[in-house]
């Protein structure tokens, strides 16, 4: 199966002017506004309103690094501290006065009471429009912002569309077209909302219900980094469970009404601005007529159902019947117009209202927050959720099914015997005993899941082929769904993978493991392709980012309080942090030290430590401790090839037999790091960070024996491409070494400028023409020298190593119990090459 899509030079079609154009006004640049907002101060003082850099650094540390106010005050009150440091503040309260009174303001939180069903509830919120303007006007985002939609294509004929950033999706283009017909010159500001209730204490069951906001104009690689602060908290919703309402149906309805009443109070002000637009200045002071429009909602399934006013167990996006959730068929999308008509019958009495809502297949909610927002469609706005639909949903289900199909014990035994590799977690006790499995743990399981089921036997001795095909199809869908750039071709592969899963899923029913597949999260996968076409790739709206925000905006915020009447303290703490972040960026700008991104990556592709791990290792020690038993022969052959590049391998071997090396030791390195460009070569994508461990057995600091580790790698034999395995070969690295300067001068010609660092490797057999059927992985085996039971070996330049590679042992029906994670690479002869270590491996090894 071909599923890679390397991003070539894009052909871009811009939306016609004047979309996204300035409106003629010019406002002061944001940093100039910030400077003018500071109180009068010495122009030479770059740290104002603090007296000097020391005061600023201490204040910033106090607010960003987490000590409590009491602890910070106690530190300052240690005798002599304040005087010796020459600080103008003596307590945390003094620092707060400087921040509150002197640093430019950010949108404040207010506390309001919301009345629902005769009861009042407190909600903490801030002006959503001001928060949008704060994000839109942040100078740090200016180089990463887009003001008009574009269409990208992979070919010159414009027949293969590409989707990546939000502005490449169809939704933005469609909304822009509608706005241009009404009032030309609009700038769409896609508003992205996410909500998720979370526990803020490990004990005593305290929780918070934060609401986050960001805008689609900011590039996704910026939005997904918490350190960039491209997402802001706009409210804390009430966390009451309304237990005083005894009837469960009435309680559910009241909770929905409370949620939408609070959200309506936060976002209701966008109604007029989304339709008519409002002037906004970007970080450089350029003013545009901006239309903040609710575009996407990020949340797990319960939150999606709550936002869309859909009954639990139904799809929040389409009209599929509950009994058809397990069928891979298209269903009519939910109709917003008919839904709004039903909801607007609320004034005609409860009986009519409930009847109309029932016919529209929605919950009877009084005025959903999205009902009056122009150009918004909540059913379209619900987006895929990789974390909960896939990792905590289908992957979790599938692992459970597999354990029932093959038995927990044997799968655990295989876990214990997988070789170590960088990026692959070793479940040393298996996976069956894990409790409260996190999304990260499910992600780690996906990297090894195929190894746990390939070649296993079902209890009834029937063929496991369909089980294996179902697992492979689900993993294909998972990895494809997370591509940071999609084309119409890769979206077709995504749909094909889902179809393969549906074609094979019934094997779990036949095995008596499942009675049905009426699973909302499974049905949700059918909407991935359409959402990617509308809003760009799934990393534009990933709930993992929301989960990470909880640490800063909920858990840490709560820990900063005295735990009494916490939310006012939490909001004040967050406001001060935002002021510190904003002022920190201003100081960097003023000192001309802003951390602008450099063009290109200046890091080396392969980083070998400056100093060797062991300065001098004899050839004998290399054989005994590192397993490099033919090191001298391999190095001699390499030297002969350098001296005589025209010789064949056989001729070089004959010459090498008579070559006496004028040295007997080399310096060795036990770890090298690799920086691998993303396989899609997309702009803004970080390099894959990889490492190769080459360390002999040793004793740790506590005297415990640690087994040796010699990783397997993918080696470029001179013809390797960016995708596929053609031109590559698998090898195990036995040692990475360099020659002493005198030895190097003696071994190579005087004008030799070849690689400084070399590696002794043992080869595996070349890749076959095609992967194995069913599981679609390549099988390799230990390669041996012709006519001998000695492993095939070679010395190669370290630069030929493309990346580390994880091998799955061919266990057979039962994993041999004398194999361990430490010795399996030595005892096992045949392996499957994993495609699942990361996206780069998935795209390359297929």
Higher local confidence (pLDDT), 595 or 217 = 217
Q: How confident is the model at residue 778 (pLDDT cuts 50, 70, 90)?
A: very high
State yes or no: pLDDT of 96 exceeds 60. yes
Residue 251, burial from CB neighbour count under 10 angstroms (0-12, 13-18, 19+)? middle
Task: Compute CA 310 distance to the chain's CA centroid, rounded to the nearest angstrom.
Answer: 29
State yes or no: pLDDT of 723 exceeds 80. no
State yes or no: pLDDT of 1 exceeds 50. no
| 537 phi and psi angles, rounded to 5 deg | -70, 165
HSE, CB side, 13 Å, CA atoms: give it for residue 8: 9
State yes or no: pLDDT of 6 exceeds 60. no
Q: How confident is the model at residue 202 (pLDDT cuts 50, 70, 90)?
A: low
State yes or no: pLDDT of 212 exceeds 80. yes
Residue in this structure with the two tokens 């068929």, named with its chain if needed: 329
Higher local confidence (pLDDT), 598 or 339 = 339
Give me the mean pLDDT over the 727-741 stretch: 95
Give me the mean pLDDT over the 811-839 stretch: 96
Give me the mean pLDDT over the 816-820 stretch: 97
pLDDT score recorded for residue 204: 58
Task: Compute CA 643 distance to the chain's CA centroid, rounded to the nearest angstrom.
Answer: 48
DSSP string, 631-700: HHHHHHHHHHHHH-TTS-HHHHHHHHHTPPPS--EEEEESEEEEEE--TT--TTPPPEEEEEEEE--EE-
User: Where is average pLDDT lowest: 5-9, 126-130, 580-584?
Assistant: 5-9
Crossing angle of helices 301-308/248-267, nearest 10°? 80
User: Of 635, 648, 657, 616, which Cα lies nearest the Cα of 747?
Assistant: 635
Q: How confident is the model at residue 2 (pLDDT cuts 50, 70, 90)?
A: very low
Percent of the chain whose predicted confidence (pLDDT) is above 90 = 80
Structure confidence by residue, pLDDT tens digits, 170-187: 999 999 999 999 999 999
Structure confidence by residue, pLDDT tens digits, 388-424: 999 999 999 999 999 999 999 999 999 999 999 999 9
**Mean pLDDT across the chain:** 92
The Cα–Cα gap between 296 and 534 comes to 10
- pTM of the shown model: 0.94
- Give the gyration radius of the chain's Cα atoms: 31
Give me the mean pLDDT over the 442-467 stretch: 94
Alpha-carbon dihedral sign for residues 823, 825, 827, 832: positive
State yes or no: pLDDT of 684 exceeds 80. no
State yes or no: pLDDT of 425 exceeds 60. yes
Percent of the chain whose predicted confidence (pLDDT) is above 70 = 96
Give me the mean pLDDT over the 531-536 stretch: 98
Q: Tell me: cis bond preceding 515? Omega within 30 of 0 counts.
A: no
Structure confidence by residue, pLDDT tens digits, 598-615: 444 445 789 999 999 999
pLDDT score recorded for residue 594: 42
Task: Compute CA 332 distance to the chain's CA centroid, rounded to the nearest angstrom.
Answer: 31
pLDDT score recorded for residue 563: 87
Give me the mean pLDDT over the 29-55 stretch: 92
State yes or no: pLDDT of 327 exceeds 50. yes
What's the N-to-C CA distance of the chain in angstroms? 7
């Amino acid at each position: 199966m071909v599923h890679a899509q390397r991003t070539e030079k894009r052909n871009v079609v811009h939306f016609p002017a004047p979309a996204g154009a300035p409106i003629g006004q010019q406002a002061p640049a944001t940093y100039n506004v910030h400077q003018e907002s500071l109180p009068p101060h010495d122009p030479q003082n770059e740290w104002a309103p603090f007296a000097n850099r020391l005061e600023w650094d201490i204040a910033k540390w106090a607010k960003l690094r987490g000590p409590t106010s009491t602890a910070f005050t106690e530190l300052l009150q240690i005798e002599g501290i304040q005087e010796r440091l020459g600080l103008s503040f003596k307590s945390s309260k003094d620092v707060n006065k400087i921040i509150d009174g002197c640093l430019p303001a950010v949108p404040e939180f207010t506390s309001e009471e919301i009345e629902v069903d005769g009861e009042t509830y407190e909600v903490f919120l801030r002006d959503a429009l001001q928060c949008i303007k704060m994000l839109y006007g942040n100078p740090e985002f200016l180089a990463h912002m887009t003001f008009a939609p574009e269409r990208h294509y992979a070919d010159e004929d414009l027949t293969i569309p590409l989707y990546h950033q939000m502005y490449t999706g169809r939704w933005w283009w469609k909304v822009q077209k509608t706005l241009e017909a009404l009032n030309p010159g609009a700038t769409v500001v896609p508003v992205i909302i996410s909500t998720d209730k979370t526990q803020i204490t490990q004990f005593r069951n305290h929780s918070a219900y934060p609401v986050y906001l960001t805008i689609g104009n900011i590039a996704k690689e910026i939005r997904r980094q918490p350190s960039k602060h491209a997402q802001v908290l706009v409210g804390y919703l009430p966390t009451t469970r309304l237990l005083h309402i005894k009837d469960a149906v009435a309680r559910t309805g009241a909770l929905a009404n409370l949620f939408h009443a609070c959200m309506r109070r936060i976002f209701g002000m966008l109604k007029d601005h989304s339709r008519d637009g409002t002037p906004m200045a970007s970080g450089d002071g350029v003013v545009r007529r901006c239309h903040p429009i609710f575009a996407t909602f990020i949340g797990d399934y319960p939150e999606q159902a709550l936002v869309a006013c859909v009954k639990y167990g139904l799809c929040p996006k389409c009209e599929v019947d509950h009994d058809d959730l397990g069928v891979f068929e298209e269903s009519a999308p939910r109709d917003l117009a008919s839904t709004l008509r039903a909801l607007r019958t609320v004034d005609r009495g409860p009986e009519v209202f409930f009847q109309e809502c029932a016919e529209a297949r929605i919950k009877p909610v009084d005025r959903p927050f999205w009902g009056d927002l122009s150009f918004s469609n909540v059913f379209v706005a619900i987006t895929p959720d990789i974390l909960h639909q896939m990792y905590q949903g289908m992957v979790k289900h599938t692992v459970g099914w597999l354990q029932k199909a093959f038995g927990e014990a044997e799968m655990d035994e295989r876990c214990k015997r997988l070789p170590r590799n960088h990026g692959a977690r070793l479940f040393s006790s298996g996976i069956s005993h894990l409790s409260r499995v996190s999304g990260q743990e499910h992600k780690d399981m996906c990297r090894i899941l195929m190894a746990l089921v390939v070649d296993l036997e079902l209890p009834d001795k029937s063929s496991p082929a369909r089980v294996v095909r179902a697992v492979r199809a689900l993993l294909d869908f998972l990895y494809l769904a997370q591509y940071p750039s999609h084309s119409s071709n890769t979206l077709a592969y995504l749909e094909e993978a889902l179809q393969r899963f549906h074609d094979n899923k019934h094997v779990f029913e036949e095995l008596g493991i499942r009675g049905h597949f009426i699973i909302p999260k499974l049905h949700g996968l059918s909407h991935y392709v359409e959402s990617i076409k509308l809003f760009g790739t799934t990393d534009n709206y990933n709930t993992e980012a929301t989960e990470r925000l909880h640490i800063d905006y909920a858990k840490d915020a709560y820990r900063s309080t005295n735990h009494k009447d916490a939310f006012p303290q939490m909001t004040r703490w967050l406001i001060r942090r935002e002021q510190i972040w904003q002022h920190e960026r201003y100081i960097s700008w003023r000192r001309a030290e802003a951390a602008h991104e450099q063009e290109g990556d200046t890091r080396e592709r392969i980083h070998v430590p400056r100093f060797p791990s062991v300065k001098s290792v004899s050839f004998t020690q290399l054989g005994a401790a590192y397993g490099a038993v033919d090191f001298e022969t391999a190095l001699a052959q390499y030297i002969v090839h350098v001296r005589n590049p025209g010789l064949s391998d056989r001729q070089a071997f004959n010459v090498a037999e008579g070559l006496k090396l004028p040295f007997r030791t080399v310096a060795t390195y036990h770890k090298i790091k690799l920086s691998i460009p993303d396989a899609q070569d997309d702009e803004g994508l970080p390099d894959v960070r990889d490492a190769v461990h080459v360390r002999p057995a040793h004793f740790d600091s506590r005297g415990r024996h640690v087994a040796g580790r010699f990783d397997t790698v993918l080696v470029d034999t001179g013809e390797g491409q960016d995708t596929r395995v053609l031109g590559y070969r698998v090898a195990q690295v036995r040692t990475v070494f360099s020659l002493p300067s005198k030895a190097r001068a003696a071994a190579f010609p005087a004008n030799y400028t070849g690689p400084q660092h070399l590696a002794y490797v043992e080869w595996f057999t070349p890749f076959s023409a095609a992967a194995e059927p069913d599981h679609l992985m390549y099988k390799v085996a230990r390669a041996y020298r012709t006519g001998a039971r000695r492993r095939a070996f070679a010395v190669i330049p370290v630069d030929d190593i493309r990346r580390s590679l994880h091998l799955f042992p061919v266990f057979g029906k039962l994993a041999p119990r004398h194999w361990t994670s430490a010795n399996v690479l030595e005892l096992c002869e045949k392996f499957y090459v994993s495609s699942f270590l990361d996206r780069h491996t998935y795209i390359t090894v297929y």
